[in-house]
Amino acid sequence: MRRYNLEVLGISETHWTQVGQRLTSGELLLHSDHEEVNAPHTQRVALMLSKQAQNALIGWESHGPRIIEASFKTKKEGITMNVI
């Protein structure tokens, strides 16, 4: 992410199991979840957030295994950016 100067990175086909997993590089990984208890750890999506994006994060929600939504504060007062 640093190499390409990215603050938010969308990832598909993830296999992570922990919600809100912090990576050793300092990024935070938010991933979608299956509604089924014993569903396979495939077909999920994730957002990887830099430290700056983590500070701007208002909240996030998983809408099934293929959709994740996150809201971020912006520098403009009263404007929120949503990433789906």
Which pLDDT tens digit goes with each residue over 43-76? 678 899 999 999 999 999 888 778 888 888 888 8
> What does the pLDDT read at residue 14?
77
Residue 81 corresponds to which tokens in the numbers above? Answer: 């950016």
Q: Any bridge partners for residue 49, and if so which?
A: 8, 28
pTM above 0.85, yes or no: no
Q: What are phi and psi of 76, to 5 degrees?
A: -80, 125
Quote the pLDDT of residue 66. Answer: 81
- At 49 the pLDDT is 93
What are the beta bridge partners of residue 61?
69
Quick one: tokens of 70? 């996150």
Whether pLDDT at 34 is above 70: no
Query: What pLDDT does 5 receive?
Result: 92
Domain residue ranges of the chain, discontinuous segments joined by +: 8-83
